[in-house]
Structure formats: structure tokens, C-alpha cells
Amino acid sequence: MSSLLICNGHLVTLDEENRFIENGNVFIEGNRIVEAGDFPVSKYMADRSIDARGNLVMPGLINTHHHLYSTFARGFTPPGAQARDFTEILSKLWWKLDSALNSEDVYHSALLALMHAARAGCTTVIDHHSSPSCRDGSLDEVERAFRDVGLSGCLAYEVSDRNQEGEGIEENERYIRKCRDSEDGQMAALFGLHALMTLGTKTLQRSAEIAHELDAGFHVHAAEAEIDVQVTMERYGRRIMDRFLDFGIPGHKTIFVHGVHFESRELDLLRSTGSMLVNNPESNMNNGLSVAPILDMLKHGVTVGVGTDGMSSHLISQARAMYLHQRTHHRDPTLAFAEACEILLHNNRAICNRLFREPRGALAPGQLADIMIPEYVPFTPLNEDTFYGHLLFGLSFARVGTTIARGRVIVDDGHMPHLDEEAIRARCMERAAWNGRPGSGQESRD
């Protein structure tokens, strides 16, 4: 079993005691933390030592909602008239892109995004995938990218009726069974659903029956835009959460994403069912959508996380956007600062630890050895009272020199020595050029 010693770091433990330890050390054996504190370095003999040189040493970040398949959208302009509302954004951009992906695209788009995540100190990603032209086995391609980079992942396939009824149900069932039967804790699974506006009764019923049989939670978009609420009310005369409750979808392992248009009563239902909710502020802003009632959600006792929704793989910038988004919306400069930081550092961890076997998110004995060491030298005091300010206004712009995932150094002095980054980027450029062509997913490709 390999071992690693990190020494001379400014530890931000995020453990139960929330310790900030200058000149602290962390000893790792295998994929677990054995000790984190001010113990003498001579206490352990390690296979490798890393001198943090006084930089912060803190738990790896956790992304609670991503769309890795969106990577090749960067710089892409859909043909035709510009999308003018949320429905057109889906139909003209995202549903064209996901239909154009083949299995190699799925792998490479995930690979590149996960490389970016690792470089930003993220060590666990909860992903929501869609690739209708290569649906079956697609989650294995995403998993392959996770294993090649070295991060942990929780995967789900986006079931909807937009191409064919119940598309993706079998892929979710297959992959959930695969993760359930595996002794390897690196990967986990949820049952993915798109949104009620693309899900009929038969599909919801089948999905719910299978997921309940497998004791799986759901990963589903909900009330992101007004259209989702309108369609659900027109078809079924039900609010979003009431419709989901009809099929037993809310629960302790279920993630609802966005929730921009949830009413107060629906927030109570989220809390009472133990369901989780993930906000994606940059995505909501980019799509011209309303501001999610994050502060109300927290007051209702909802466990709220933050994700990137495919906009990027940089999590600290999302927490920063969340805080600014709420202050602008409420026109109140006293709001959301601490809440945004706690959502990123504590709530994302709480969400993740419901879904994975291995605990993570703190520098403490028994925790998964997921660690980031940003190259950040503060020029004002940094301690438990000032850390959030450094997080949002300093670390948001800092390069991460070292990322350790599952006890393995995967970013080493800013590089990823186990990957041929230049070749990967060149191949992604080739694949992205194909995907800029409408309908390219239907053509023959090498």
C-alpha cells in the first residue's frame, strides 16, 4: 500500500472542529487519510513527501451537478436564428449537440472536462449525461474518463421522451446494477431524468418502479424555467413537486436541480422528503432565467448544493456567482456571503456523502484522501474568521498546483503526468470540429 506525506501546509481541515493549522501535515496511506494535524514529520515513513511550502492544504472540491457532454459546445454557434427562450436553447443547441455525440466524443468530452476539474481542485463530480445516438453503454465511456483522470464520479443517464418513449431507462438500470454489484467505491449511480416537460406518465412510472427496486435515488431537473411548470400544470393540473411525489421520486438520495420556480409549499416538500437541491447560478444567468430562491430554500431547511451545469468545471467561481447573484437580485449587500461558502464546502459534501460509500470532504482520519493545494499566498491574515473572504476573492483566481484524488497525485506542479495532455487536446479538437456540423452524429465517422 503506497503512502504519501504532505508537510509544511496551512491546513484547512473542514472537520468537526474546523481546525486551521499552520505548518501542519497530512499522512495518507492507500486512499485514506491516516492523520492530519501538527504531528512531527518523523512520525511516519512515506513513499513520497510533498512540501506544501506554506500553501493552503484543503479537501478536494465536490461538484454536485455537471454535464460533461457539454464540453464541445465551447465556441459553437447553432445554425439559424438565435435562440430566444429556454425551449429554443434546448432544441437549437443542447439537443443538437447531444444527438451528435458518438461514443468517442462522449469519452473525450468527459476526459477533457475532468482534466479541467482536477486542475481546479475538484475531486468528485456528480454528472448527468445524454447522448441519444450512442445511448447504450455511454455511461461506461464516461466512467472510463473518470478512471483515466483519477476522479470519483456519480453518473446518471438523462431519460426523456423527446426522441422516443422512455429513452435511457435501460442504460440507467444497467449502470446502477453495475455500481451496486461492484466492490470499487470510485463510481456511484443515480437514476437520471430530464424534466417533467419531456417525461410522460408511462416513462415516469417505469423509471420509478426500476429505481425503487434498486433502491436508487434520482437526478432530475425541476422548475428550471417557467415552461416546465406551465407544461406540468396544463397536462396534469399538478405542481412540479406534487407530480414527482405521485411517483415517489423525492427522497434522501434524490437530487433536484435548479428549483428556480418552486413555491414555498414545494420547498417544504423538499425538506420533509429529505430531498436535495442543486443550484447552478452561472447557467441560470447564461440562459436568461430567474434567480433561484436560495435563501428561502435554506430557511425552509432544504439541503442546497452548488454545481456548474456544464458551464465550466471551476467550482469556486460558481459559489462566487451564487453570492453575487443573490445580492443583485435582492439589492442587499449584506446577503449570501457565508451561505454561498457553506453551500460549497459543507452542503456539497453532505450531498456527496449520501451517494458514495467512502466519506470525503474533510482532512480527518478515515476520510478519502481527496486534497487540493492551491498556489495562494495571502497578503492579509488568513484564519477561521477570514477564510471565506480568501475563498471567494483570492482562491477563485489561484492556480492549483497539486490535486490528490483517492490518495493519488493527479495534478503535480500544475501538470498531469499520467496523461498525454497535448494528444488529448488535439483529439478533442478533431472531435469538436465534427460536432459543429448539424446532424453529424448520424454520419459515418472513424
DSSP secondary structure, 202-268, as one string: HHHHHHHHHHHHTT--EEEEESSSHHHHHHHHHHHS--HHHHHHHTT--STT-EEEE-TT--HHHHH
Report the C-alpha gap between 49 and 175 in whole angstroms: 38
Report the C-alpha gap between 161 and 184 in whole angstroms: 33
| Residue 160 DSSP code | B
**218 half-sphere exposure, CB direction, 13 A CA radius:** 29
| Residue 158 DSSP code | -
Report the C-alpha gap between 321 and 334 in whole angstroms: 15
Chain centroid, CA 441 distance in Å:
26
Here the cell at position 203 is: 416513462
Domains of the chain (ranges; CATH) run: 3-60+364-412 (2.30.40.10), 61-355 (3.20.20.140)
Find out whether 61 and 404 touch, Cβ atoms under 8 Å: no
Find out whether 25 and 9 touch, Cβ atoms under 8 Å: yes
Would you state the pLDDT for residue 18?
93
Pairing of strands 32-37, 371-374: unpaired
Here the cell at position 145 is: 474518463
Here the cell at position 18 is: 474546523
CA 307, 312, 313, 316 torsion-angle sign: negative
Report the C-alpha gap between 69 and 140 in whole angstroms: 13
Find out whether 334 and 326 touch, Cβ atoms under 8 Å: no
Report the C-alpha gap between 298 and 284 in whole angstroms: 19
Report the C-alpha gap between 233 and 250 in whole angstroms: 19
Strand partners, 5: 27, 49
Q: CB burial class (10 A; 0-12, 13-18, 19+) of residue 177?
A: middle
Here the cell at position 285 is: 444567468
SS3 at position 286: helix
Task: Find where cell 434567480 sits.
Answer: 291
Would you state the pLDDT for residue 95?
67
Residues in the chain: 446
Counting as low any pLDDT under 70, the low residues of the chain are 92, 94-95, 434-446
Report the C-alpha gap between 358 and 336 in whole angstroms: 30
Would you state the pLDDT for residue 434?
58
Report the C-alpha gap between 122 and 405 in whole angstroms: 9
CA angle 26/62/349 to nearest 5° reads 80
